[in-house]
A and B are shown apart, each in its own frame.
Chain A
Amino acid sequence: MLEKLTTPRTGGLLVLAVIIVLLPLFLPNNYYYDVAIKIGINAIVVVGLNLLVGYAGQISLGHGGFFGLGAYTSGVLTVYYGWSSILALLAGVVLVGVISFVIARPILRLSGHYLAMATLGLGIIISIIITNEDWLTGGPDGMYVEPFTLFGWELYGEQTWYWVIGVLLVISVWLALNIIDSPAGRALRAVHGSEVAAQVVGVDTTGYKVLLFVVSAVFASLMGSLFAHYSGFISPVQAGFFHSIELVTMVVLGGMASTFGAVIGAVILTLLPQLLSGFEDFEMVIFGLILMLTLIFMPKGLVPTLSALFKDRRGRKP
């Protein structure tokens, strides 16, 4: 039992849950809750994106687009068409699922720079559509979204949202860890390690890449929907290029192919703009700098690098 608790899997999940439960003791007011919720939302998107980018080794610079698509589907359907929040959220999932599936096959034949460019283009197209179709989306001015309601119960206030997002974060980390530690997960990592080797032992590599592209897009769409209801206001920024870059930077900084690393990346890079609130204009520059420095000095990312160091230290002791 004790042995099981110290495995990265169970132990890590436990630590995450304990932190989420205890954190409110240190959150003096709703501003801090708000930051924690935004961290949680980013973390869930990044945990999903990490499956694609970190584990399967397929870059996507378009996931901000899927986040925005989820957000706007929820916003438009609930506000203008009177759909219930949960149905609108599911509609977003279906829409993003179908779009990402249709696009994934041609796009994932590409690799490296070409894949990056294609996904970048995809994200930009989504954000342009959201900006230009102002009769539906409010255009660059954004739109207001009503709170999330479920069976007459209104999800409102930072403290309630904190627990919802907290539970969802634990669930998503659990799901991601499960996927990685399964035949499908090994197949994915094999795609990263040697695609041709995976193919000749029977792995449908394209199929898996498409599947993970869709799964990670759906993670983003779900969180986009919830973000729309939580913040009450959405704008094309959520679907924008910078948001996509932010997400990828979180994956890279925290650690490619490390689910907990993805969470840490989200924590650091969501906190950073809060700490740098006086330097708003430089935010993008600083993100770029972090991305560059990470790739140069610890290409494996924060968590894998630190855990390797730790193992090394422990290994050297007699």
Chain B
Amino acid sequence: MSLLRVENLSKSFGGVDAIADLSFAIQVGAIHAVIGPNGAGKTTLFNMITGLYQPTRGAIFLEEHNIVGQAPYTLAKRGLSRTFQNLQICMNMTAVENVMVGRHLHLNRSFIAAMLRLPIIVRGDRQCREKAAELMEFVGVGKYVKTDANAMPYGALKRLEIARALAAEPKVLLLDEPAAGLNAKETAEIDQLIQKIATTGVTVVLVEHDMKLVMNISDYLLVLDFGKKLAEGTPDEISNNPDVIAAYLGGG
């Protein structure tokens, strides 16, 4: 049984096929990467998987349930969580509160209890804050716990977003260009973090256009070009695939 499976998926924007007839499957565990040049349809694919876009055709299965048409927040309940290529941090909140939002599904969400500030809310919030602080420590931004999000540097916000996604305790974590805009040292650190996350049992799927970067850490790769699957396989297979070399490495 595959954890995440995509069948004949297509998405067109006004006649342009961003994704065309794409099929692939992702197994439990390990680090998967979707790579391809800019405009290959990687983010569109992520947006469809997480319910932000509706596919034009095709199906997406999460643990063998077709999830097409479900709202993003329902998919979060089913175990999907993601980060964004262009940061989506709530700048009107502190860093730790951003991560606490990620715990939303695991908290008592009764509005009446919240209004009256019943002990269950106070206790839940305290645990939630501790858990969020732990996660910030885990991703390496522990020193910013009390900082306002809008006062944090870009690299730290990238990690904060990962902490928020992890706070939801996902089965599948989708990272959309986690290293975009980072320098070489920061990128190496993000690589380590992704590997660390994978060892906790979360299945990681990442989108990246820098191929060298993902080769090191990915167990399995899917190469997209103009919305179509160019190749898939282990890093070794991919780096020896003539199509990939022609279209991507050589031609780039």
Contacts and interface: CB of A to CB of B under 8 A. Distances in A.
Nearest to B167: A201
A57 B103 CA distance: 22
A189 interface: yes
B108 interface: yes
Given A183-B104, A196-B52, A202 B125 contact: no
B117 A202 contact: no
Given A192-B92, A203-B73, A197 B164 contact: yes
Contacts, number: 113
Nearest to A182: B114
Contacts of B97: 186, 189
Contact of A183 (B80, B90, B107): B107
- Please classify how large the interface on chain B is, using the bins under 10, 10 to 19, 20 to 34, 35 or more: 35 or more
What DSSP secondary structure best describes chain A's contact surface?
helix
B84 A183 contact: no
Interface string B90-106: 11110001101111110
A101 to B, nearest CB: 14
Interface in B102-155: 102-105, 107-109, 111, 113-117, 121, 124-125, 128, 149
Contacts of A178: 114-117
B117 A201 contact: no
A201 B105 contact: yes
A199 B113 CA distance: 22
Interface in A175-199: 175, 178-179, 181-187, 189-190, 192-194, 196-199
B206 to A, nearest CB: 15
Contact of B165 (A184, A187, A201, A257): A201
A183 B168 CA distance: 13
A201 B114 contact: no
B90 A197 contact: yes
Contacts of B88: 194, 196-197
A200 interface: yes
Contact of A198 (B101, B113, B167): B101
A187 B97 CA distance: 10
Contacts of A155: none
Residue in A178, A197, A205, A211 with the greatest tally of chain B CB atoms within 10 Å: A197
Contact of A189 (B92, B103, B124): B92
A172 to B, nearest CB: 11
A225 B104 CA distance: 36
A197 B103 CA distance: 12
A185 B115 CA distance: 10
A202 B72 CA distance: 7
B25 interface: no
B77 interface: yes
B85 to A, nearest CB: 12
B114 A187 contact: no
A165 B77 CA distance: 43
A199 B90 contact: no
A257 B161 CA distance: 23
Contact of A200 (B81, B114, B116): B81
Contacts of A203: 73, 101, 104
Nearest to B116: A178
A175 B16 CA distance: 51
Contacts of B107: 183
Contacts of B113: 182
A257 B105 contact: no
A187 B93 CA distance: 11
Contact of B71 (A181, A182, A197, A204): A204
Contacts of B165: 200-201
Contacts of B223: none
Interface in B36-94: 50, 52, 71-73, 75-77, 80-82, 84, 88-93
B70 to A, nearest CB: 12
A199 B76 CA distance: 8
A182 B124 CA distance: 9
Contact of A205 (B73, B103, B109, B125): B73
B12 to A, nearest CB: 22
Contacts of B71: 199, 204
Interface string A150-183: 0000000000000000000000000100110111
A197 B89 contact: yes
Nearest to B101: A190
Nearest to A197: B88
A187 B165 CA distance: 14
B90 A200 contact: no
B92 A186 contact: no
Residue in B73, B75, B93 with the greatest tally of chain A CB atoms within 10 Å: B73
A202 B90 contact: no
A194 B91 CA distance: 8
Contacts of B77: 202
12 contacts: A175-B116, A178-B114, A178-B115, A183-B108, A185-B114, A189-B93, A193-B93, A194-B90, A196-B52, A196-B84, A201-B168, A202-B104
Interface of A: 175, 178-179, 181-187, 189-190, 192-194, 196-205, 211, 257
